[in-house]
Structure 1
């Protein structure tokens, strides 16, 4: 049985951030560094622009009452998915149970927004509740309430911000807003400019919805270079380095209009070596594709993402620096907390995450590790829910998944092992070939047989398995020849009848 959720630390002091923006004609990459360590990587490719935030005029293809969901075409390769919990009417009245078949019908046009990118074989996830992000505000044109970011915790500040927003909005306004964290330092003029911009944007989207054909894109979120300024810049940002003059000027113009506080941090990088190489980001990206993560004192993590969840195993490795074994385990687990939190952000791992810390007998040690993990996870921009130790000594947490992981963006399943991460041994393949020859000998009356296989398999037939091959020749009464195929993988083979 799982323990109740553990609140993440609220009073942590975030280290200063350095944001690096690397731009090529094919892709944009953004790295966020804290204390000279890469903690986040964001990649946007021209061939696969992220869809989150995009607004479409969708076409309902199928309504599934049993699943309380619908498949909606928005012009992509796979139909997108809309669940009842993301339908506006249900979100506005969560206490009332409503039926999706009473709200949607096949062939209907419906305004939808992408809230999750397509991941693996799953289509994009949609919502009919539209939200438009500005620099200081999130506009909710179908709602009427004013919400405030949960990161603003001071009640007096929350009340002050709400009063300021109510004073700025016209009396007859029936639109809702969420006040973002960055609004704490915004002037009334800046808030009013955000309101005007978002109001015009929504009016333009509604006009397009009335004149466009179904499956049309009505609104696309800002490119990554500008989202960096809108979403990532904060008072904690020490510098933002950009290695493209054209995009630096574009970002500078955007900052002058919407994020003036960022102007002092924005700089054009002009070093002789590439930006990411100078700050050792390329090496960090390559390391983030490996399952093993070494800790400073000799311990290590093994991170294994699967379709259902991600498992993280903590090991002491060569760490023997503490006074006794319990202390060694405790120190390794404490060090692992910050490494795990960083790897979740760096690899952008989402969904269910199971951590197998090294077993600790001391209850105080277990509580201290949980508190340290909660503190480390509090740096994450993405919503994380942390649970305590289970009866098996495992820690479960969930991290909101909104886009594909770094591994899914940069890599694909191995064509040799089909994504298993394992290969059949040469000996296993030898025995498969022999069984195949027996089957063929019973079905066909061939004069002889030839085995085409990878070099390692043929070498085994000529050495350790030469006797078993001779016994097979005697059994079927036909000669068998061998031929090396250098292009074959270890699991590939052919049996040719001659």
Structure 2
């Protein structure tokens, strides 16, 4: 049983793909952090960088979008690119990637309109077909069927869900997508910056991405959304998934035992059935996954134990990439294998498991150090970045200064104030445990300061302050 759960609450939409009771994919969006991918804007060029054949475009969001307009990398200033825009020009652009960190959204001038079976591309071109459709006869049938109904001046890319669809199915969807293209064409003379077409509503995106005959049902807990989806005609018919309205008191995710699974998806450590475990860490440059033997170590033949753990880890890595939506460069440190044959077997197992991922995933292979290299296309922020925020106390590092380091820093600051300023009294505010370490056993450090500087040092305990935080108040007493 495969089902898609659409949990819609005030300002928050959560979408879960569940297969046989197991959470496979999960993402959610809020109104404040809504994805802009697919949206079409009329933008205004703010700055042009000829050396990079790129420009920054104002589209009305907090950060300016980045548009690469060239056909070759790093053309010099002397070379004239006929497609180079000028500051102040207005352009029709589409968001290709959401803004991340300090970087703005990545834009493109090739406008596309994604559907459930086919993507309509607003430029004359060939008909592309998903690589996951491998039968040559089926590929030729699809290509001829789409070519017969494709409007002039457009190209198309047939998605994996297009397998088995008839010419009539493609014509119906292309007609719907063409209506969106006309909306953009009619609105292109609006004042920049302006939104022309919004294509990234969470519910529409979920239906478009997950819709296929392999999905048994969609379950939604919002009456308005249910009625909207029902009117599309994509549900409750022959060879169509069921659409159900959930109205029970128990929360939707709890009813289908998904809530607890969604919380575990944030855990750094993932246990394997044989006693081994994965440690998953996201960094700015890449995602690192470490495979550990854990409780499986010391059981029987060492090489067989390592191979068994690595094989199970390969399956789990592929699952975690989908569940957590990990993307970009991914490095997996499997347990060292002495046999090249075993390395090849693990690589093949990972490649096979990755084929279940609807997002393009490439297993590059192992390095000389035995590190598996994987790349996965980035479509939206990872689950942890969607569901968590940077810690203000540790600034997102996940680590805090030790008590010894903090106490040493506090003492240096206090001594510097007493030695180099006119202030003759210092008050130190901090957590009680930190103050106890600062003062030393039986206040030996405070006594030492008083004798050395002939000045007063007071300590004030504050329960509201974090463990590694403190405040030093300087005073001048007469």
**Superposition TM-score, scaled by structure 1 size:** 0.88
- Conserved in 2, the CA contact under 8 Å of 1:460 and 1:466? no
The count of residues paired between Structure 1 and Structure 2 equals: 470
- 1:383-404: per-residue Cα shift (whole Å, max 9, x none)? 1121211111111111111211
Shift of residue 463, structure 1, vs aligned partner: 4.6
SS of equivalent residue, structure 2 residue 51: coil
- Conserved in 1, the CA contact under 8 Å of 2:418 and 2:424? no
Shift of residue 237, structure 1, vs aligned partner: 1.2
Match in the other structure for 1:249 = 227
- 1:203-244: per-residue Cα shift (whole Å, max 9, x none)? 22111002x011111011152223332221222212222222
Match in the other structure for 1:221 = 199
Distance 1:258 1:165 in 2: 23
Match in the other structure for 1:124 = 105
Distance 2:368 2:80 in 1: 39
- Conserved in 1, the CA contact under 8 Å of 2:439 and 2:445? no
Match in the other structure for 1:233 = 211
Match in the other structure for 1:154 = 135
- 1:309-345: per-residue Cα shift (whole Å, max 9, x none)? 1111111111247422222221111111121111111
Matched, 1:69 2:65: no
Matched, 1:49 2:51: no
Match in the other structure for 1:174 = 153
- Conserved in 1, the CA contact under 8 Å of 2:212 and 2:241? no
Change (3 A) 1:90 1:113: farther
Distance 2:457 2:230 in 1: 73
Distance 1:217 1:90 in 2: 29
Change (3 A) 1:215 1:244: same
Match in the other structure for 1:209 = 188
SS of equivalent residue, structure 2 residue 177: helix
Matched, 1:489 2:466: yes
Q: Extract unaligned runs of 5+ from structure 2.
A: 74-78
Change (3 A) 1:102 1:272: closer
Match in the other structure for 2:76 = none
The counterpart of 1:353, out of the listed 330, 353, 356, is 330
Distance 1:449 1:195 in 2: 74
- Conserved in 2, the CA contact under 8 Å of 1:63 and 1:101? no
The counterpart of 1:79, out of the listed 64, 67, 79, is 64
SS of equivalent residue, structure 1 residue 51: coil
TM alignment of 1:189-204, pairs within 5 A: 189-204=168-183
Change (3 A) 1:262 1:29: farther
TM alignment of 1:312-331, pairs within 5 A: 312-320=289-297, 322-331=299-308
The counterpart of 2:167, out of the listed 175, 181, 188, is 188
SS of equivalent residue, structure 1 residue 419: coil
Change (3 A) 1:442 1:357: same
Shift of residue 174, structure 1, vs aligned partner: 2.8
Tell me: higher relative CO, structure 1 or 2? Use CA pairs within 8 A at least 6 residues apart.
1
Change (3 A) 1:187 1:465: farther
